Amino acid sequence: MPFRLLRSQPAPSLAAAISTLLFILAVSPAVAVAESAANIGSTNLDGYKLDLDLGDTYEPSFAPFDSSYLGKRANVIGPLVNNVPSTSNLKPGEAACYQIKKTIATDSQASGTNARRFDLAVEAATNSSAGAGILARQDSQKLSIFLSANTCLQPWRVPGADKADMEPPQLTLLISNSSQLGCPDLSMQDTPNIQKQTFEGGAVMFSTNMTEDLFISVQAPNVSSSYQGGYFFELAASTQDYYHRYVGKEGQLLWLDSDASSALLVSKNLTINMDESKRIMEQGMQYQFYIDNELFPRLLGIEHSTCGLKTNAQIYATPNGTGNLNQLVHMTMTTRGPGGFPKQQFFITGLNDTTEYRGIIVQTPNATVAKRDGEGIVGGGGTVFTSTAFNTVSGTSCKMVTDLDFCDEIQYAVPGNVEKFQGNDSILGQTYDDYAKTMYDNFEKVLMLMQCEAPSTKRYSLMKTCDDCRRAYKKWLCTVVMPRCEDYAAADAPHSIVRNAGQPFPNGTRLPAAELALYAGIPASNTSRNNFIDETIAPGPYRELLPCDDLCYEVVQSCPAAMQLSCPLRKNREYPSSYARRDPDNLEVTCNYPGEPRTRVSAAAGVVWNAAFVSAAILLSVGLLW
Domains in the chain with CATH codes: 78-107+142-243 (2.60.120.380), 245-392 (2.60.40.10), 396-618 (no CATH)
- Cβ atoms of residues 576 and 625 within 8 Å: no
- The alpha carbon of 169 is separated from its chain's Cα centroid by a whole number of angstroms, namely 25
HEC sequence for 522-560: CHHHCCCCCHHHHHHHCCCCEEEECEEHHHHHHHHHHCC
Query: How confident is the model over 54-66, as a mean pLDDT?
Result: 31
Check whether 102 has a pLDDT greater than 50: yes
How many residues comprise the chain? 626
- The alpha carbon of 381 is separated from its chain's Cα centroid by a whole number of angstroms, namely 17
β-pair type (484-486, 542-545): antiparallel
Give 190's pLDDT tier (boundaries 50, 70, 90): confident
Percentage with pLDDT > 70 across the chain: 75
Question: Between 114 and 600, where is the model more confident?
Answer: 600
Report d(CA 247, CA 269) in Å as an integer: 16
Report d(CA 291, CA 349) in Å as an integer: 12
Question: Between 66 and 322, where is the model more confident?
Answer: 322
Q: What is the pLDDT of residue 417?
A: 93
Which residues fall within 8 angstroms of residue 146, CB to CB, at 6 or more apart?
205, 206, 207, 237, 238, 239, 240, 241, 242, 243
Query: pLDDT (tens digit, 9 = 90+) per residue, 531-546?
Result: 999 999 999 999 999 9
Report d(CA 203, CA 195) in Å as an integer: 16
The pTM assigned to this predicted structure is 0.79
Give 186's pLDDT tier (boundaries 50, 70, 90): confident
Check whether 262 has a pLDDT greater than 90: yes
Q: Give the lowest-confidence range in 13-17, 379-383, 526-530.
A: 13-17
β-pair type (383-385, 245-247): parallel
Report d(CA 407, CA 431) in Å as an integer: 11
Q: What is the pLDDT of residue 558?
A: 95
Q: What is the pLDDT of residue 612?
A: 31
User: Mean pLDDT in the chain?
Assistant: 78
Report d(CA 84, CA 596) in Å as an integer: 41
Query: pLDDT (tens digit, 9 = 90+) per residue, 402-441?
Result: 999 999 999 999 999 988 887 677 899 999 999 999 999 9
Query: pLDDT (tens digit, 9 = 90+) per residue, 360-399?
Result: 999 988 766 677 766 688 999 999 999 999 999 998 889 9
Distances (CA, A) of 83 to 41, 45, 87, 121: 15, 11, 13, 14
Q: Which of 116-130, 207-221, 276-290, 601-615 has the highest mean pLDDT?
A: 276-290
Among residues 439, 435, 379, the alpha carbon closest in space to that of 238 is found at 379
Q: What is the pLDDT of residue 602?
A: 63
Give 591's pLDDT tier (boundaries 50, 70, 90): very high
